[in-house]
Amino acid sequence: MLENYPVIIIGAGIAGSTLALKLSELRPDLTILVLSKSALSECSSFMAQGGIASEYKTSESDIETHIEDTLKAGRYMNDEDTVRWWAHQTEHGIDQLLKWGVVFNSEMALEGGHTTRRIFKVEDQTGKSIMNVLWDKMLEQKNITIIQNASVVDIQKDSVQNIFHVDFVTDQLTQNRIRAKHVVFASGGLGRLIAPSTSSPIATAEVMGMAIQLGVQTNFLSCVQFHPTGLFLRNVKQTLLISEAVRGEGAKLVNSLGDYFMVRYDKRKDLAPRDIVSRAIFEEMKLTDSDCVYLDARNISKEEWLYKFPYIYAQLVRYNLYPEKNLIPVYPVAHYMCGGIVTDTNGSTSIDGLYAVGEVSCTGIHGYNRLASNSLSEAVVFGLSLAQFLSEKDISFDNEYSSRVLSEKKSNERDNEITTEMNLISETLYAVFKDQKTKEEVEELISFYEHTFKLNQEKSTLHYSLIVVIRLLKDYHMRFTNNNIQIQHV
């Protein structure tokens, strides 16, 4: 393995993979290193069910409705210029995926907050279908090196030479140090810091903590989107998502007393944006003293389930739930980080040489709340844009830098990925959102975690995740405890 790379991409989900593939096409002279903390399939991109939103080969007025739906879902806290630019680029993103070999279903899907059917999908496993194509393509590229089970544990900037040192631990627990002029954070969200959630165990956000430690600017960190319909199972950290597209096909939410309650909360009823539906469910759970509500999807026949949602159907049957006959117990679960590291449309951050793309970034597209299926198209559009930007820069990496031998240091870091402390943190953060904790309660939590942080100065995954937890709570304190966003009843 080389010691110096012009570009290191941390993350091999849809954002990192789109970037790597496009950059390798534009600059075959460069060697690009992509690190994946676990096996490639352990990422949110692989798990995406519903699809990828785009007004494709339609009229300017249709693109306008996509822009309006996105702004409305984001409570107009989005960056409108960026939303406009991106909405016009999504067609280009879909074209690129088609060119690389992704095959979508001919029928488009409808999801909450969208006024038209504009979701490209592949049954209910869109992410898996896209990622298998992208990873196969990446493995063919001679100038992309992918290392799986390579967990980044520290990043330092050498301000004199203007390069970054990236330390990562592999399967063999060997700690490696490599250097790069340009480091891209494509490391996904923070779902596993809040549980229950839909996220895989990789989503512990330590890489974002490293970026924060380097001084990078973040925004909207506490704007965590809860998905209204996670399958309710007792004592699980990661749960099955029942795609919004199921409600797009007419399924309805009902409380434990048999009341179809969404009609009381929003005129879009079950297809209102996710924050509104989630808050309504939490309220109904409180009013009926229940741990969950139910999704009544009995209007969808078994044949339709098997045709449109074969993966979800198979998973439900494993729990002895036959959705054409049984109500599905559901509750809101943490799902998506709307904020993150602030970037411009090229993926540049506030630190020279550091970039962010995908869920870890805050581009201004989502505002307070993401419109369903906008995140995959955000990752593709910004991944392509960053590839173009980097390809035009002088990013060759001469061996002018003083050489440092790869360290053979042993590390126990990988064992610590999901610690008991992390599990406790994730339950506490879930309660902050569910119960809408008060200003004083959040202040107490911030002091507690700052104290824990001081005691835990060893640079572990937990150390860096705690940086994110504290910043998230401070953002929550600033945004939600003074100016609580309440849902409107219609």
Instruction: Summarize as ranges the residues that interact with ligand FAD (CB under 6 A).
Output: 10-16, 35-38, 43-45, 47-52, 126-127, 150-152, 186-188, 198-199, 202, 206-207, 241, 336, 358-360, 373-376, 379
Q: Are 91 and 52 in contact (CB under 8 A)?
A: no
Minimum CB separation of residue 444 from ligand FAD in Å reads: 29
Alpha-carbon 82 to chain mean position: 19
Q: Which is nearer to ligand FAD, 147 or 487 (CB)?
A: 147
Residues 6+ apart with CB under 8 A from 359: 13, 15, 44, 188, 189, 336, 337, 340, 375, 379
Minimum distance of ligand FAD from residue 435's CB (angstroms): 23
**Rounded to whole angstroms, how far apart are CA atoms 382 and 240?**
28
Shortest distance, position 487 Cβ to ligand FAD, whole Å = 23
Q: How far apart are CA 446 and CA 438, in angstroms?
A: 12
Instruction: Give the whole-angstrom CA distance, residue 34 versus residue 306.
Output: 36
Residue 6 or 340 having the CB closest to ligand FAD: 340
User: What does the DSSP 8-state code read for residue 406?
Assistant: P
Smallest distance from the beta carbon of 286 to ligand FAD, in angstroms?
26
274 assigned to active site: yes
* Contact status, residue 113 vs residue 273, Cβ threshold 8 Å: yes
Determine the distance from the C-alpha atom of residue 448 to the mean position of all C-alpha atoms in its chain, rounded to a whole number: 27
Output 36 or 222, the one with its CB closest to ligand FAD.
36
Shortest spacing between CB 311 and ligand FAD, in angstroms: 11
399 φ/ψ angles, rounded to the nearest 5 degrees: -85, 40
Q: How far is the CB of 288 from ligand FAD (least distance, A)?
A: 27
- Residue 205 or 254: which CB sits closer to ligand FAD? 205
Q: Which is nearer to ligand FAD, 169 or 446 (CB)?
A: 169
Residues 6+ apart with CB under 8 A from 333: 196, 197, 198, 226, 227, 230, 239, 241
274, 370, 471, 479: the catalytic one is 274
Q: Is 216 helix (H, G, I), strand (E, B) or coil?
A: coil
Sign of the CA dihedral with 115 first, then 93, 46, and 304 last: positive
Q: Which residue has the tokens 């090196």?
A: 145
- Beta carbon nearer to ligand FAD, 34 or 281: 34
Taking a C-beta distance cutoff of 8 angstroms, is the pair 349, 182 a contact? Answer: no
Q: Which two tokens stand for residue 111?
A: 């999801």
Catalytic machinery residues: 274
